[in-house]
A and B are shown apart, each in its own frame.
Chain A
Amino acid sequence: MSENKKIQPQMSVEVAGLKLKNPIMPASGTFGYGEEYAPYLDLNQLGAVVTKGMSLNPKAGNNTPRICETVSGMLNAIGLQNVGVDAFIKHKMAYLEQYDTPVIVNFFGNTQDEYGEVAARLDDVPGVSALEMNISCPNVKHGGIVFGTDPAAAFEVVSLVRKRTSKPLIVKLTPNVTDIQITARAAEEAGADALSLINTLTGMAVDVKTRKPRLANTIGGLSGPAIRPIAVRLVHQVVQAVKVPVIGIGGISRAMDALEFLIVGAKAVQVGTANFVDPNAMATIIADLEQFCCEEGIADINELIGSLEL
């Protein structure tokens, strides 16, 4: 750049009452509890840290193989292995509190009551800045139908959680539905402060020699660059349908990818699978976003958000 007066673009954004240094944060389940990536990346640089999904009780997860690479993506069926919300609060929060970065705790339940209970236990934990509620889980009491695929069930469980937490509540939507605008509106009406999307798309891969599924769980969730166009489309549709802020997720590995989501109207984005490929991915994205703003003469990143020309 040859310009003398190098402008320092304003990169911070506000989502669900949280002020973020920049719109970049990790996607749940791809960044552990934050600590795992601290040797490679300064967590203070991030807009927020989003932790692995928490349940009421510790969860063992699925049998192996749990992951499998696909074309420009990967399937995972980890089975939401986690230490349980109490152990998380006791052992993992203290580490994150040393950073000057908001902590968003992702959580889930097998029943409505479990969702409510986890939310309640996190409610008075000081270091928790917001909750992200993963509704892509089977509802054990209702034949295992995924909460997030049934708008009525989604409305009910989000309403219940809303009553049990005073923290900002982000509801994470599943893409595995016919019309995502319906679940998005249900979550908004039930009191979500923001929506994040997309969770993984269900997928399957087969080993043609053994004729077995490549995942022990048979079906898994597809993530990575392969899903980005679908995610951009869904974020675009949800932004049209709701008033609450939207966080875009799906296949982001470079600043240009993040920009697509911001331009269609996401206030912030999450980076998932790309962390595995390059543990420094988010730092690079943040630097390149700033560079993009400089080059394009954009003084405030918010100018870009929702600037899609149709």
Chain B
Amino acid sequence: MKNIKTIVLSNQEISPGYFRMKILSPGYCESAQPGQFVMFRVQRSLPPLLRRPFGIFRAGFLPADCDDMPAKEFIEIIYKVVGSGTEIMEGLHHGDPVELLGPLGEGFDLGAPEEEKILVGGGIGLVPLYMLAEKMVENSKVRLLMGGRTRDDIITVTEFERLGVETYVSTEDGSLGEEGLVTRVLERKLDKYPNAAVFACGPMPMIEAVQKICDSRGTSLQVSLEALMACGVGACLGCVVKGEGHSDAEPRYLCTCTSGPVFRAEELNWEKEAANNSECGGCK
């Protein structure tokens, strides 16, 4: 965990409204774990005031400049343009100064090697699953179920395929892959692979639906959540979610930034979360 002042290496639109940014990130190849995130400072001046949280899509090494120089490290983030901060990010170019605080949070637990793995990604929720897949394919069978509203929301699927991940695409309007919700595909896959463990990230309504399915079947589930964040390090207490056993009399709040963003389903309080986060799920 540290704050680095660094630069953008590249920033490209990969699908309408979705951008992929490569950032020079010393130290990340060793430290970044699947599911972790960064607090990204869009520019040194205001606005926007607060940093924006983004999942780490991938960490890697650039080709070395010359033989005896250590290879430079980068991370990639993929973001959807939704508001003031991401609109500014859209305009960043190679060489523009930015700041990264990270890698932050608790990532995914990789689970047992022999276990089948099903990853469920909804739209931009796909991002933290790539590094996870990279690690998992080394010793597990991995399937990715990728859902979106239209074909524009289906991103980087071929890259998962290149890792050897079996991918299944569904869109709500049927413009790519199967027509319908990704959760329907999940139910089918769980019928076929009842012992698989599920890892999900996406809009809250999708996560809730996935939780219901996994809960009813006793399937192991880890979810990556989003929350409004100011600090990203556990100081502001702005990003809390209700934990298992939470009640008004005995409240149990967990910080998404430090106890999450990845949680085991059984760590969370699902009844209350639905009402609370409906707004957040609706915005994406």
On A, residues with C-beta under 8 Å from B are 29-32, 36-37, 39-40, 52, 60-61, 63-69, 71-74, 76, 78, 81, 207, 210, 212, 216, 224-225, 273, 275-280
Contacts and interface: CB of A to CB of B under 8 A. Distances in A.
Given A65-B279, A210-B279, A37 B49 contact: no
B241 A36 contact: no
Interface string B242-275: 0000001001010000000000000000000000
A277 B276 contact: no
Contacts of A278: 3, 41, 99
Interface SS of chain B: loop
8 contacts: A30-B236, A37-B233, A66-B238, A67-B239, A72-B46, A74-B230, A76-B238, A278-B41
A63 B272 CA distance: 11
Nearest to A63: B276
A61 B240 contact: yes
Contact of A78 (B46, B47, B236): B236
**A29, A30, A224, A278: which has the most chain B beta carbons within 10 Å?**
A278
A66 B46 contact: no
A210 B282 CA distance: 10
B279 A61 contact: no
Interface residues of B, number: 35
Nearest 3 CB-CB pairs, A to B? A60-B251, A67-B238, A32-B235
Given A69-B50, A273-B49, A277-B41, A37 B235 contact: yes
B82 interface: no
Contacts of A61: 237, 240, 251, 253
A279 B233 contact: yes
B101 interface: yes
A40 B2 contact: yes
A68 B46 contact: no
B62 interface: no
B277 interface: yes
A76 B240 CA distance: 13
Contact of B1 (A31, A40, A73, A276): A40
Contacts of B231: 30, 36, 275-276, 279
A243 to B, nearest CB: 34
Given A69-B50, A225-B49, A275-B231, A60 B238 contact: no
Given A37-B235, A66-B240, A279-B101, A225 B46 contact: yes
B227 A64 contact: yes
B217 to A, nearest CB: 29
Given A64-B277, A81-B237, A278-B99, 14 more contacts: A29-B236, A30-B231, A40-B3, A65-B280, A66-B237, A69-B49, A76-B238, A78-B236, A210-B279, A225-B49, A275-B231, A276-B235, A277-B41, A280-B3
B253 A36 contact: no
B48 to A, nearest CB: 6
Contacts of A72: 46-47, 49
A78 B2 CA distance: 26
A60 B101 CA distance: 28
B253 A81 contact: yes
B71 interface: no
A207 B228 CA distance: 15
Contacts of A37: 233, 235
Nearest to B276: A64
Interface string B170-189: 00000000000000000000
B58 interface: no
